[in-house]
Amino acid sequence: MAFAIPVLLLTLFGFALTLDVDNVPIVVWDQDKTQVSDDFVQKFRDSRYFRILAYCDSYPELEAYINRNDALMALVVPADYSKYFNRRDTASVQLLVDGSDSNTATIALGYVKGLVSQYNLELVINMLSSSSHNYNVTIDFRARAWFNPDLKSKNYIIPGLIAIIITVIAALLTSLTVAREWERGTMEQLISTPITSGELIFGKFLPYFMIGFIDILIAVGMAEFVFHVPLRGSLALLFVLSSLFLIGALMLGMFVSIATKQQLVASQISILATFIPAFLLSGFVYSIENMPLFIQMITFIVPARYFISILKGIYLKGIGLPYLLGDVALLSLFAFIAIFAANKKFKKRVA
């Protein structure tokens, strides 16, 4: 289970979870039906972000496509579009958008605005070039996205997913180990041995650390060879800092196991204390800056927040330790607190 779950999670999330919006289905009602209006619609046909699903002849037909969730948008070109266009006046075009999925609708609207802006710019340039006066275009705007040039969501989802997997697997595995000893009645035998509390905890910790490190190797390998996520930073630094986070997550699970002494309760608390905060409050999918201020303050106690920042920095930006010292210090503090709490909670006596 320790090896199968990371592979399953990476496969499911890596292929299924994507924030990219491509091939937006759109239906068109061209009331003008002229070459001018067709040139405008052609911009949507040529764009990789849109897929014209059908051409309609009425509003009920447009509405039917949207109601059936077949189309996300409906474009309506009015009958007098070419008339306004030819006399160089402002021509209005209507766009109907299904806003039930607000995130997708917002991204798709951004694509439309960009397309229309580019279309208007081309019209202005063509008009100026055909004029008898000479004009010089003084602005050459060229946008470039750093670190993720293609703006693919998998390039930042997969590194974040590595943190989620380590958090859940590590805490879940060790949350059962001491509780299982209490439930089976074998803890009394361990307590009667001359080993110290620290040695007992370390003996429980070590094999799961090895299992967790193998999970890290699997996750990094799948990111490289299955999802082709670029690793621009140091692989050695990635493993060292991942091990630091792994130690803290394992010891957190160990603390839960020692405190509860019941496997069922320990596993439930581990999921609540690791998966939900790591998934929702770490910046894995949802931007922390867009959260209410009170929730933003809570995210500072979520260790996965700092590890995800480290992973994205190493994977996408290729930055080194000097830029990650703040996050590394907080991860080290998390690991220290988890180790201290587990050792402090465990008492080598029969309760």
SS3 annotation, 20-51: CCCCEEEEEEECCCCHHHHHHHHHHHHCCCEE
pLDDT of residue 247: 94
pLDDT-derived band at 53, boundaries 50, 70, 90 = very high
pLDDT at 138 over 50: no
pLDDT of residue 132: 53
pLDDT-derived band at 218, boundaries 50, 70, 90 = very high
pLDDT of residue 137: 46
Q: pTM of the predicted model, to two decimals?
A: 0.77
pLDDT-derived band at 345, boundaries 50, 70, 90 = confident
Q: Of 31, 54, 343, which Cα lies nearest the Cα of 202?
A: 343
pLDDT tens-digit series, residues 242-264: 999 999 999 998 888 888 888 88
Cα–Cα distance, 167 to 109 (Å, whole number) = 36
pLDDT tens-digit series, residues 315-334: 989 999 999 999 999 999 99
pLDDT mean across residues, the chain? 85
> At residue 64, what are phi and psi to the nearest 5 degrees?
-65, -40
> At residue 259, what are phi and psi to the nearest 5 degrees?
-75, -35
**Average pLDDT over every residue of 337-342:** 92
> At residue 336, what are phi and psi to the nearest 5 degrees?
-65, -45
pLDDT tens-digit series, residues 58-98: 999 999 998 888 899 999 999 988 888 777 777 889 999 98
pLDDT at 131 over 70: no
